[in-house]
Amino acid sequence: MNLRNVLDPQTICLELQAATKEGVLEELMDLLVRTGKVSDRAAALAAVREREQKMTTAIQHGIAIPHAKTDAVAELVTAVGIKRQGIDCDALDGKPSRIFIMTLSPMSRVGPHIQFLSAISHALENPDVRQAVLDAASPEAIIEILASAR
């Protein structure tokens, strides 16, 4: 999957304001709603919260990838947020999450959802990529970093 095709500079926030996991979920959702990518904020947010209740999407190395399937989107959509000081999100490694990547997919489409989760996880395996994302000065730079990661 070419991450350039799904990452949008309009849905990337270099300085998340939220101080809680719930606040981050709402802030990222608001980016998607403002850009017209989500038709029903409440339904989409409920789907993300439901997925979070099953198991945290805060993985390790300061990364959280909240995701869900919902008919509030017509196609796979993403939002990226950075919180440099980190937020406790019950990560599997116990460390604060600093890089947040939310993705939503329609209920009827499985392939793109799985492909995106695999591609973004692979890109963020590299500690140099994670640091470059945290140091990025623009949304476009984040897209280039993630899309170029090998």
Query: What are phi and psi for residue 47, nearest 5 degrees?
Result: -65, -40
Alpha carbon distance 17, 24 (integer Å): 8
- Give all strands (DSSP E) within 38-76, no chain letters: 63-64, 67-69
Q: Is 92 helix (H, G, I), strand (E, B) or coil?
A: coil
Domain ranges of the chain: 3-148
pTM: 0.95
Residues with a known catalytic role: 67
How confident is the model over 25-34, as pLDDT tens digits?
999 999 999 9
* Pairing state between β 97-105 and 77-87: antiparallel
| Average pLDDT across the chain, whole number | 94
Query: CATH assignment of 3-148?
Result: 3.40.930.10
**139 vs 10, 52, 136, 144, CA distance in Å?**
8, 26, 8, 9
Query: Counting every residue, how long is the chain?
Result: 150
The position carrying tokens 């406790």 is 88
What is the pLDDT confidence band of residue 56, given thresholds at 50, 70 and 90? Answer: confident
Q: Examine the pLDDT at 44 and tell me if it is beyond 90.
A: yes
Reported as a single tens digit per residue, the pLDDT across 108-140 is: 877 888 899 899 999 999 999 999 999 999 999
The DSSP output letter for 78 is E
pLDDT at 125: 94
pLDDT one-digit tens code per residue, 63-75: 999 999 999 999 9
**Residues 142 and 133 sit within 8 Å (Cβ to Cβ):** yes
